[in-house]
A and B are shown apart, each in its own frame.
Chain A
Amino acid sequence: MTGRLPRWLGGVTGSVLLFLHLPILILVAFSFNASRFSAGWAGFTLDWYRAMINRPDILRGLSLSLQIGLVSAIISTVLGTALALALHRYRFRGRATLESAMYVPLVTPEIVVGISLLALFAALNVSLGRVTILIAHVAFSISFVTVIIGARLAGMDRSLEEAALTLGADEFTTLIRVTIPQLMPGVVAGGLLAFTLSFDDYVITSFVTGSGTSTLPVVVYGMVRRTIEPTVNAVSAVVLAVTTLLIYLADWISRRGTE
């Protein structure tokens, strides 16, 4: 179906876009607002960004978020790639069940994931802290990574691997020299998405975090509960910028790879 966009449909689309993005735009705007009480515009300032980098709790939270994001992205990408290969390249008993099971975490409410992980750690008597946050982040990222890489594997020409086999490469050599290089765009995109998911998660993290180990979103939430201070706007704008950039990067890499 092609042709000119009807006026009513254009109106709906415009309204939805505005509704989705206006709050974010206001938040970003107020992060530069000189007024402390966020009501009206009192002039441009970078004070809240300056205040942000002088707050040790924010910097610690940022540092922890970056570390956990990086490590959980690496672990979930490696495991997710392995899972995607198992699901899409081999036949085994329970394959179909496992494949549908991969989609369950994508639609499970975060609060349910958080509570169940907390219950698991409590049952196993694991003390809450960096390790439990890391395990939780790996757990909810793997499904996303597996689905992204699986999509790329499904679209990949099987004859490339078959050509390698007929040229004398065994299964492992074929995996290393042909399959993985072909999957790289999906692997990188999956890794970036995993990092983003980890970097901005609050709900699940709040269940499995221990005292003294607060990721950036947890720190921000703590700040909001006490007072509305414009520094929160600045921190949120930074988180927003980082995640948006990474999502676009992931999307761009996976698109470029399929062309």
Chain B
Amino acid sequence: MTSQINKRFRILLVILTLLIGINIFVGLASGSVSISFQEILAIFSGKDTDYAHIFWQIRFPRVLGGIFIGIFLALAGCILQTVLQNPIADPGVLGISSGASLAAVIIMLLFPGNIALLIPLSFIGGLMTYAIVALLTFQNGMKPIHVILAGISISAIWGGFQAILLTAYSDRLVGVMNWLNGNLGNLSWGDIRFLLILGTPAVILAVILSGKLNLLLLGDDVMHNLGVPAVFYRFLFSLVSVYLSAISVSFTGVIGFVGLIVPHIGRLLVGNNHFRLLPVTLLLGGNLLLGADTLSRIIIAPQEIPVGTVMSLLGGPFFLYLLVRHGKKGEI
């Protein structure tokens, strides 16, 4: 049966990879300007067509950004759910994204000349929020529902501060509003390079340490019994998750629910073993955000809606479904 499980897993990886290919193609072709299949082939072959500039400078980085950010957010959610043993954990739901977002808004509005601080401060903002949620709920054993309520409350507080800043500095909002709603449209090749350089090590680290994520599933008692320091790995993986969320927020604003939806679908498909779950989560994350972004461009074409809004429309009902499902099972 293990061979059957592995065979199913490999087939799934092939399907998801093919799906990413299709998603990339549709994402490259769709938008306010449709680019035909023939033209895409011509552009790839080096011809300078009417839409070559749009294709290379706008569509391509956007599509790659969708894949990378989808991967980062999905992985961040998957790790959080394992670390906290909380089926409805997600960087957005826990307020990590809001903390990172507030820090980013502070930099963009108050210190626009210090854009290099954007990512480190977003990371600190996310980390502080995570620490506050952990401190507030630690006494109650970090029960899922308490963690979620604390996360939602802190998100609301950060949202309040953010609203004050946006009102006070309304003359500096150019570009910020678009970013705030979660948008992949502004990504440049430079951003993609940064995303790759910053995010890839964290993704590789998580994949290499898949076995330790599996041990976290067994609980602190069993980890101690096996001679593995549970606290260290919980802390390490929390940092990785917050870091990936902060990078994503810094570049594209808050895009919620990817980290919630994707790991759940992944577990339905391949179960909890992270050796199988992480690769599937990465591919599903890329697929979901890329697909959602394409949708955001064609729902009311030629106008666009932010991909964050599309994800809220998809993720909100899913979150409610999870609340009801896990509530019935008494898991939250």
Does A pair with B?
A: no
